[in-house]
Structure 1
Amino acid sequence: MINRYTVIGQPIAHSLSPVVHQLFGELTQRKIHYTRTEASPETFADTVIDWQKSGARGCNVTAPFKELAVEVSDRLSPNALRAGSVNTIHMHRDGSRVGHNTDGLGLVADIQSNLRRPLEGQRILLLGAGGAARGVMAPLLATKPALLHVANRTASKAELLSSLFEDLGAVSGSGFEELEGWDKFDIVINATTVSMNGGLPPLPEDIISHQSLAYDMTYSTRDTLFMGWCKARGASASNGLGMLVEQAAEAFLIWEGVRPKTRMAFPRLRELIS
């Protein structure tokens, strides 16, 4: 039997998820079929339910439906409950749907395992206070950084987000302008979409150093504006391709019971993208 999965989003044609999961199927010798499905906010819930009724085993959920996916799930994993968003739905044989969030686990795995940058004891700056940022807060704090500071254009949103996770570790929040005069951060993670839209978060020039890692959670075939800005100031930089692969591996583990060896997928994936 071939297990069927899909990724649901709007737009969705650009998604690399089918390529990644088909590679995982080959690496683990699992027979799967993975597709893309477009939906709208009005049709999302019915799309998920219809997909399950067709006999499918699960789906991934991408923008802008991760919060709606909470509502269509019957139960939530601890990560999804804490994040308030779902990017992976496991469709059980009893008809129930369990929502998971693997984004933060994927981010942490990419930084620590692939980029070989430890997070424990580090000063981390997280840019943005939306769903993408909230989804990675708990896994980042679980690594015990010296500080996780959330900065956002609207300071009150950053302060609210940080307050929701203050029981997990050293976390704070502010507006971008309040970063002036802060000590340099070891790791700066961009969870906004402004650089993909031709803009940049208004960051102080001295917020990073040549020892810093700049990480853009979006994935692209070329450097984003954020990555370019950080590289020009001596920092190393990475995009979110590794996060995409690692969070997909966590989803595959939930569905198929085995976690693919992601290092074996990267060479072929980069070749396909280029």
Structure 2
Amino acid sequence: MDGRTMTEPLHPVWISGAARLAGVIGYPVTHSRSPRLHGFWLARHRIDGAYLPLAIRPGDLAETLPALPRMGFRGVNLTLPHKELVLPLCDEVEPVARAIGAVNTLVFGEDHRIIGTNTDAWGFGAALAAGAPARDAAAPALVLGAGGAARAVVYALAEAGAGRILIANRTAERAAALIRDLAPHCPATVLEAVDWAARSDLLAGCGTLVNTTSLGLHGQPPLEIDLARADDRLVVSDIVYDPLETPVLKAARARGLVAVDGLGMLLHQAVPGFERWFGVRPVVDAALRRHVAADLIGAEAPC
């Protein structure tokens, strides 16, 4: 890059008959920002390749997926509703995806084998490390939510060294299921289900708060939590990225706390897949962030 301030890639991509192909499978898939994200890197590195949105119905996944490597695809990302449905269709599932119970990235081998992995945990950990480098990773963490994203977040926090992770979910049974499934993979971390109604009181003594629910997402109710009892060193993370500045992040900044928005997780989780498909390890930087966030609500919010 030549240092100019711009959000668009500097170089167009010219695709040849030897182009490397990748994409994202979802249904619907129109909301995905992955084509914009990977397209930026393809242009930056002048790679002969393309990253395509693929709208595939759940009922068609088993029939369609094996055809992709035969068509020249090196791999794909998976978004809703395919992350769990694809597990039995993989020839190999890497340990991180097996532990989390979901696949968000497929790599197609030269023999057309389908290898499933999960980069969400790595992406969250990398984004949190970048946004809060002084965070006490060993301190207790409070995770709100118990869905697929929460599983990746809990796994990442445990891998980073959290001694205790509290999981608060509006449906207690889902929190219990998360702990049952993940505890064997996080032997050095105590996982504990806690009452959703007590979430504000539980902040005392926590080093990290992560919202993995849809509360605060554009069009959804805000997350209601009182940060008054939080330690001054609490790091507040919200994996929602539309808007970039969710109500809980705004409240955290007003309280003087370190706040980490959800766009970083989206950007960082894309790095391992891009490297495996296209042979170049890309960098997450300010230019990429501006490009992907250009039309998000609150795009000028702090990183």
TM-score w.r.t. the length of structure 2 is: 0.81
Of residues 139, 163, 170, the one that matches 1:122 is 139
Structure 2 letter corresponding to 1:252: F
Aligned to 1:170: 190
- Please say which structure displays the higher CA radius of gyration: 2
Residue deviations 1:95-147 (CA, integer Å, cap 9, x gap): 21000100010000011134424352222111111111112322220111132
Aligned to 1:93: 110
Aligned to 2:82: 65
Aligned partner of residue 51 in structure 1, secondary structure = helix
Return closer, same or farther for 1:270/1:210 CA change in 2, 3 Å cut-off.
Answer: farther
Indicate if the aligned counterparts of 2:100 and 2:182 stay in contact, CA closer than 8 A. no
User: What 5-or-longer segments of structure 1 have no aligned partner?
Assistant: none
Aligned to 1:39: 56
Return closer, same or farther for 1:258/1:170 CA change in 2, 3 Å cut-off.
Answer: farther
Distance 2:40 2:118 in 1: 21
Distance 2:83 2:134 in 1: 28
Aligned to 1:179: 199
Structure 1 letter corresponding to 2:266: L
Aligned partner of residue 195 in structure 1, secondary structure = coil
Corresponding pairs, count:
274
Structure 1 letter corresponding to 2:207: D
User: What 5-or-longer segments of structure 2 have no aligned partner?
Assistant: 1-17
Of residues 55, 64, 72, the one that matches 1:55 is 72
Return closer, same or farther for 1:207/1:104 CA change in 2, 3 Å cut-off.
Answer: farther
Aligned to 1:2: 19
Aligned to 1:192: 213
Distance 2:294 2:225 in 1: 34
Note if 1:134 corresponds to 2:151: yes
Distance 1:265 1:31 in 2: 21
Return closer, same or farther for 1:151/1:20 CA change in 2, 3 Å cut-off.
Answer: same
Distance 1:22 1:87 in 2: 18
1:160-239 equivalence runs, <5 A = 160-166=177-183, 167-179=187-199, 181-182=201-202, 183-196=204-217, 197-206=219-228, 208-239=230-261
Indicate if the aligned counterparts of 1:57 and 1:255 stay in contact, CA closer than 8 A. yes
| Greater fraction helix | 1
Aligned to 2:11: none
Aligned to 1:266: 288
Residue deviations 1:197-234 (CA, integer Å, cap 9, x gap): 42244535545355322211122254223333444544
1:243 positional shift = 0.8
1:251 positional shift = 1.3
Distance 1:177 1:204 in 2: 11
1:29 positional shift = 4.3
TM-score w.r.t. the length of structure 1 is: 0.89
Return closer, same or farther for 1:35/1:191 CA change in 2, 3 Å cut-off.
Answer: same
Distance 2:225 2:212 in 1: 14
Return closer, same or farther for 1:175/1:228 CA change in 2, 3 Å cut-off.
Answer: same
